[in-house]
Amino acid sequence: MKYISTRGRAEPVDFVQACMAGLAPDGGLYVPESWPQIEPAKPHESYVIVSTRILKAFAGDSLSEADVLGLCKRAYASFSHHSVAPLVQSGPNQFVMELHHGPTLAFKDVAMQFIAQLYDLVLTRRDARMSVVCATSGDTGGAAAAAFAGASNVDLFILHPHERVSPVQRLFMTTTGAVNVHNLALAGDFDDCQAIVKSMFADIEFSNAVSLSGVNSINWARIAAQCVYYATTQAAVGSDRPIRFVVPSGNMGDAFAGYVAARCGLLNGFEAVCAVNENKTLATLFESGRMARTPAVPTPSPAMDISVPSNFERLMFEVSGRDGATVERVYEQYKQAGTADLPETVHGPLKCAGFKADVVSNADTLAEMRTYYGETGQLICPHTAVATATARDLPPTEAVTVILSTAHAAKFPETVLEATGLDAPLPGRCEALLEKGELFDQLPADLQAVKAYIREQAAG
């Protein structure tokens, strides 16, 4: 199993090389050279068994089956629900997939716990050390901090937009006490953080000097690991029943994982509605075919306050017929001008790829949190509310509607209180966070400042 770049100018690599690198050297994102066909999940199979089969298919010869099984066992041992991603019925022919049973109460844990185990295995065997960097709009940083805290072979650098994540999200990042976890609060928005990460990878001399790797949704292991809960959901509702997934979307990694699951034969067809907040880049992309750089607008769902969805590049590569030259040309124009129109060879097929996007306003997000509690007695996070509000307006269908609940309500207690008048306390297993001291450094959203910080810490 080999992996190629979406921009077509990087040598093929294996699964481990793709995951450890994060970004391809030509600036593109890694995807499989061809899609493996994988045996679908069965209702009686455990999450660990299904994840082992799927991730071994993506790993090919770069990891043994025993290796992958061990990685999956260790990765999911810390989850509070044995199903990892259980389904809860929320209405007629409608279910919520709960993705917040990991150690930091967010869906990012599902992939990040696997990635940390993978890095530990590979770097131990190589007797090597790496600098792992991630930009976060909230949940990725906490998941990475929890997964990599105390790792003997990794220095983790988390870039988050200062005062633009929830206080509880920040606590998961800044309270590990681990000397290998470094938190940087940048004076900008998430897109600034993400741009700095991509620029660091583009600087080959710097990247090599600090042994740089990344665990954002640009990392293929994130997509591969997230395919698993789509497969287990298909098994739970029945292999013969089509599913309409409603996915809270920012960087589009979660939604793209569903597309990958379908391409690998793990789903009975594919239909995904990307539920987006007032940062409606995806809706604009799907409808008009225009990419445009705009400042991210603050919303009650901050993890989705993104104007440049990174994983759209992978989808563009697929719908263009894997035309790396076209992908590179569009992104180069976007980089230079801040706008780019998708060519018809991309926008036409994009309309048939199984995706659509619906926009939910800030006011409707808060109203949905109240309505959903009134109907079910359950508190939901604002990101999940964007998805449940979207599902409310979808036309009836014979397909089962599955809404991805991407975070626990307790990660956004201020927003829950504003919307419902109710408290959203942390689960008992996470209460100790509130007693811990925070540690983070403030920096300008400046590439050179961040690179200097990483050089200093990596050298120490």
CA gyration radius, the chain: 20
- In whole angstroms, give the CA distance from residue 180 to residue 148: 8
Q: What residues are paired with 403 via a beta bridge?
A: 96, 246
Cite the active site residues.
108
Q: H-type helices in 7-59, by residue range?
A: 15-21, 47-59
CB 201 within 8 A of CB 20: no
- CB under 8 A, 24+ apart: contacts of 412-417: 412/166, 412/168, 412/169, 412/300, 412/381, 412/382, 413/166, 413/168, 414/166, 414/167, 415/166, 415/300, 415/366, 415/369, 415/381, 415/382, 416/369, 416/379, 416/381
Tell me which DSSP letter residue 407 carries. Answer: B
305 Cβ neighbours under 8 A, 6+ residues apart:
137, 164, 189, 190, 250, 277, 279, 296, 297, 298, 299
332 Cβ neighbours under 8 A, 6+ residues apart:
none
- In whole angstroms, give the CA distance from residue 357 to residue 359: 7
The type of residue at 8 is G
CB 19 within 8 A of CB 118: yes
